[in-house]
Amino acid sequence: MPAVKAAANWQIATQSVRGASHEQSGAPNQDAVGAQLLTEARGVVLAVADGHGDDRHARSDRGSRFAVAAGIEVVAAWMEQAATLAEADLRRSAQGLPARIVKAWRAKVEADVKADPPADRHDLEGEGVELLYGSTLVVAGIGGRFDVFLQVGDGDILSVAPDGAVKRRARGRTDLPSHLTESMCQADAVDRFRMEFVMRGRRGGDALVMLSSDGYANSFADDAAFLKVGLDLKGLLEGRGLDHVADKLAQWLTETSHEGSGDDISLALAWDASPRENRRRKRRLLARAGLSLVLLAILIPLVTWAYFPSAWNNLKPAKWPQVLASLVEKIQGRQGAGDAVQAAPEDLPPLP
Amino acid sequence: MLRERSEGQFALLRSGQRLTAETSGVDIVVEQHIAGGGQGDVYAVSMGHQRYALKWYRSEFVRQDGRLRERLRRLSRRDPPSPRFLWPIDLVTSADHPNTFGYIMPFRDSRFRDFDGVIIGAVTPSWRVVVTAALETVQEYRALHSGGWCYMDINFGNVALDPSTGEVRICDNDNADVNDAPIDVALGTPQFMAPEIMRGQARPTIATDLWSLSVLLFYALFRCHPLLGAREYACPIMDAAAERRLYGTEPVFIFDPQDASNRPVDGYHREAIFYWPIYPSFMREMFVRAFTSGIADPRHGRVLETEWRTALVRLRDAIALCPYCGTENFFDADADEAGTCWAPACRRPMPRPVCLQVGDDLVVADERVSLYPHHVNPRRRFDFATAVGDCVRHPERPELIGLRNGTPSPLKIKLADGREREVAPNQIVELQRGMQIDFGSAKAEVV
């Protein structure tokens, strides 16, 4: 079941489907996804993680779950605390997020190793036990004043502005070989985080933020086709609302995996419902304007006829030319009488 | 870190299947699937009692590349440029698969790891090993090029290294062809393609190999791409058009001294910003030349293998361990002031290391450093086969460094105060500044 929650402005939805190739091989879904609404509508935190899945990273399905939990926990706590900081302090403080996330993830791994020690058969190749839990992580903290995007390894963060401009946030490296990814399990994971911090202006920021594991982007022919998803989703959210999109997500992602990468696909999205409120206001305004026009269209003839009561007697269509002619005559007569500087009668165009 | 590979289930050949080597007619038995890729799969096979690797092409690829069979036949009849090439030995065919074929090559020992793992940090060899592997790679491609061959697709997936020694193996030699040969399929990996190939103005040649080699060396030392900076960051979509622009029509080196429009972006191109300052200026200047005049003048502006070789030996000789944290630093003898350790957790000022000056060469004397005929015999440059001396630390007083005589004859030593003495083979002498060591073919001075 898709998870849907709503705060004052932000609505969120998450979904994760097992890849087509994993269905065949019986492997579990190694992705994890999560989202949390902050208290007092301070914003939302979204996270998606993709466990590496091969034998060297035998517990990567747990690793990705821990990554999502650590990412949400740390970023949510930071956003609650940082809500009142000045911009410069916010930026400085955000720099410490990767280290805190990695620390929280390692603590979860350590607890798991204690509770369920791995068998000796795992060859750690001289590296820490974290290797077994290898996973990527993308996290987004979206608030009223600022957004923070963090990423280690593959995965994508798309943001869509109210005007439809789609951007990639804190994107991962484009120059690495396709079968390798950076990871939470690396000793220098903290240094491998890519981060983007954005202050929201007075007009607000993005309307839609979408996080996905790389199985999604890899299912598209190219980057441009993938980026268009952001725009399509925004259109659907505006038109049909979040509940409709959330209901359909599982079906869409399963189809995408089958026809595309065959990989697990996870997606988390946050939709700012307030721009839609604005649009409703606009629609209400338009409706009012339309109604006023109709009323005017009714009132003007009424007033006209009230002003020229004789017209009431000539309402039959056959008499309308005469009615019009008499009206014109009356108007001309009044103008001629009332206005001394009016042009002489002979200058007027001939009447029909 | 590895991402899952699931091609195994789509393997084209079964274990136990028998195939025939074309020239020798010998039977080959498929043992197991090792790896898969776009062109085909690699299997472990046995021929007689020996283990080999077999690359078996997908029929679509054979159809696309009309010259493949002829090229491989030609390659397999030649001797490899050096034993470090996993060179095609013979073509392999099967009556069950008439539309495709494969070739056998030496089996890659499991101690070798893909070079791309180093870039991402999945394999973490010491800097000495990385520089050694870079040096070996340069030497191997030099051997290939000097035979009139062009590799065509030098990239980080085609070189494997032993993370403990830096010994390399050059894999995927099926693209290699005589220089400037006509080609049927678009060859190359976008990040490694020379700008003129990316623009569609040239075919792969030795000159374009030199470009790919310098990109590979940049990746090895700086862990990132030399052309991806602010221009990449500003690019909303990384599609074929963007790649063509960044790598082909508007390539700008991220540290181009004349053009600051493509500098690395803070927080995004972290590797470039972090690693660029740790290298001595001579090494940075080499890369500036490779990616400025190497772009402007593809025929004459690129750094040659011999130049890389000299620079990389010099770089390896400049490795000095931080006395506080043990991190490998690159000592810059040309710098005005002593540097600080680049390890973020240390950053302490480094004292000037004890060095051996032999002619123009300066070798930092530190643990695990050896002197080779290269250093002491001008007629045996680039001979690193057997050491003529090894540097060792005093077991109780680690601040003292000594040189063990690795030659079969005694070494004549002249101390700073003018006294002379001899060091017998295998004996150690403490290195003191001002001391001179006579290797016969050259004199070294401790500085």
> Residues with Cβ < 8 Å from A316, sequence gap 6 or more?
none
Check residue A261 and give its pLDDT.
81
Higher pLDDT, A229 or A351: A229
Contacts of B335 (CB under 8 A, 6+ apart): B280, B281
Q: Is B228 on the interface with A (CB under 8 A)?
A: yes
Residue tagged 């441009």 (tokens): A224
Confidence of residue A342 (pLDDT cuts 50, 70, 90): very low
Interchain contact B240–A (C-beta under 8 A): yes
Per-residue pLDDT tens over the stretch A157-186: 999 998 888 988 987 888 888 788 899 999
Minimum distance, in Å, between the CA of residue A291 and any CA atom of chain B: 44
Q: Which residues of chain A lie closer than 8 angstroms to B270, CB-CB?
A: 191-192, 194
Q: Which residues does B397 contact at the CB level (< 8 Å), separation at least 6?
A: none
Predicted pLDDT of residue A335: 55
| B388 at A interface, C-beta within 8 A | no
Query: What is the least distance, in Å, from the CA of B420 to any CA of chain A?
Result: 48
Within 10 angstroms of residue B206's Cβ, the number of other Cβ atoms is 21
**Tens of pLDDT along B300-331?**
999 999 999 999 999 999 999 999 999 999 99
C-alpha–C-alpha distance, residues B257 and B265, integer Å: 16
Chain B residue with minimum CA distance to A125 = B123
Q: Which of B3, B5, B153, B244 to mutate to test the interface with A (most CBs of A within 10 A)?
A: B3
Closest CA to A67 of A29, A27, A111, A103: A103
The torsion angles phi and psi of A137, rounded to 5 degrees, stand at -160, 130
The H or E element containing residue B361 is: strand B361-364
C-alpha to C-alpha distance for A185 and B434, rounded to whole angstroms: 48
- List, for chain B, all residue ranges whose pLDDT scores fall below the cut of 70: 1-10, 184-187
Superfamily in which the B11-106 domain is placed by CATH: Phosphorylase Kinase; domain 1 (3.30.200.20)
Two tokens, residue A192: 């491998």
Structure tokens at B175: 């693209």
Instruction: Please give the residue of chain A at the shortest CA–CA distance from B273.
Output: A191
In B89-180, DSSP assigns E strands to 90-93, 102-106, 113-114, 149-150, 159-161, 168-170, 177-178
Q: Does B6 touch chain A (CB under 8 A)?
A: yes
Site of tokens 């300052």: B277
Asked if B267's CB is within 8 angstroms of A196's CB, the reply is yes
- Chain B residue with the nearest C-alpha to that of A179: B3
CA distance A154 to chain B (A): 10
Per-residue pLDDT, B398: 86
Does A223 reach chain B within 8 Å, measured CB to CB?
yes
Average pLDDT score over residue span A101-124: 88
- Whether B224 sits inside 8 A of A175 (CB atoms) is yes
User: B354-446 — its CATH code?
Assistant: 2.60.200
Question: For chain A, which domains are there?
Answer: 3-272 (3.60.40.10), 283-347 (no CATH)
pLDDT tens, residue by residue, A231-243 = 999 999 988 889 9
**What confidence score (pLDDT) does residue B51 get?**
94
Contact (CB, 8 A) for B407 and B425: yes
Strand partners, B290: none
Query: Token pair for residue B348?
Result: 């302490």
Cβ distance A52 to B3 less than 8 Å, yes or no, reads yes
Given an 8 Å threshold on Cβ–Cβ distance, is B121 in contact with A53? no
Q: Does A167 touch chain B (CB under 8 A)?
A: yes
pLDDT at res. B100: 92
Identify the helix (H) or strand (E) that includes residue B21. strand B18-21
Domain ranges of chain B: 11-106, 113-311, 354-446
**Res. A275: pLDDT tops 70:** no
Query: What distances in angstroms separate CA A330 from CA A1, A307, A324, B157, B349, one per listed residue?
Result: 74, 11, 10, 94, 103
pLDDT of residue B105: 95
In whole angstroms, what is the distance from residue B366 CA to residue B371 CA?
A: 11
Provide the pLDDT for residue A339: 45
Residues of B in contact with A222 (CB under 8 A): 237, 239-240
Cross-chain Cβ contact A224/B239 below 8 Å: yes
Residues 23-42 of A with CB under 8 A from B: 24-25, 30
Identify which of B9, B116, B240 has the shortest CB distance to residue A180.
B116
Q: Above pLDDT 70, what percent of chain A?
A: 84
Sheet strands (E) in chain A: 3-6, 10-17, 31-37, 43-50, 137-143, 146-152, 156-160, 166-168, 194-199, 208-212, 265-272
CATH number, domain B113-311: 1.10.510.10
Secondary element (H or E) of residue A228: helix A223-240
SS3 content of chain A, % helix, strand, coil (to 5): 50, 20, 30
Question: What digits encode the pLDDT tens for the residues A306-334?
Answer: 777 666 665 666 667 776 787 788 777 66
| Sheet strands (E) in B240-348 | 319-321, 328-330
B178 in reach of chain A (CB within 8 A): no
Tens digits of residue pLDDT in A12-60:
999 999 988 888 778 888 999 999 998 877 789 999 999 998 888 889 9
Which of A25, A185, A222 shows the shortest C-beta gap to B239?
A222
* ipTM of the predicted assembly exceeds 0.90: no
The pLDDT of residue B56 is 94
How far is A282 from chain B, CA to nearest CA, in Å?
31
Average pLDDT, chain A: 84
Residues 267-286 in A contacting B (C-alpha not used; CB under 8 Å): none
